[in-house]
Amino acid sequence: MTTSADRLPPSLRTEALEQLLTERGLVTADVMDGFIANYEKNVGPLNGAKVVAKAWTDPEYKERLLADGTAAIKELGFGGPQGEHIVVVENTPTRHNVTVCTLCSCYPWPVLGLPPSWYKDPAYRARMVREPRVVLSEMGLDLADDVEITVRDSSSEVRWLVLPERPAGTEQLSEEELVPLITRDAMVGVATVMAP
Q: Name the CATH superfamily for 43-188.
A: Nitrile hydratase alpha /Thiocyanate hydrolase gamma (3.90.330.10)
pLDDT digit string (tens) for 27-37? 888 887 777 77
Identify the DSSP state of 183. -
CB 54 within 8 A of CB 47: no
Domains of the chain, residue spans: 10-41, 43-188
pLDDT digit string (tens) for 120-179? 999 999 999 999 999 999 999 999 999 999 999 999 899 999 999 999 999 999 999 999
Helices (H), the chain: 10-23, 29-37, 45-57, 59-67, 69-75, 109-112, 117-120, 122-130, 132-138, 175-178, 184-188
Q: What is the pTM of this model?
A: 0.81
Tell me which of 104, 117, 137, 155 is the catalytic residue. 104
| Active-site residue flag, 174 | no
pLDDT digit string (tens) for 40-92? 666 689 999 999 999 999 999 999 999 999 999 999 999 888 888 999 999 99
| Active-site residue flag, 155 | no
CA distance 157 to 98: 18
**pLDDT reported for residue 10:** 66
Identify the DSSP state of 1. -
| Active-site residue flag, 105 | yes
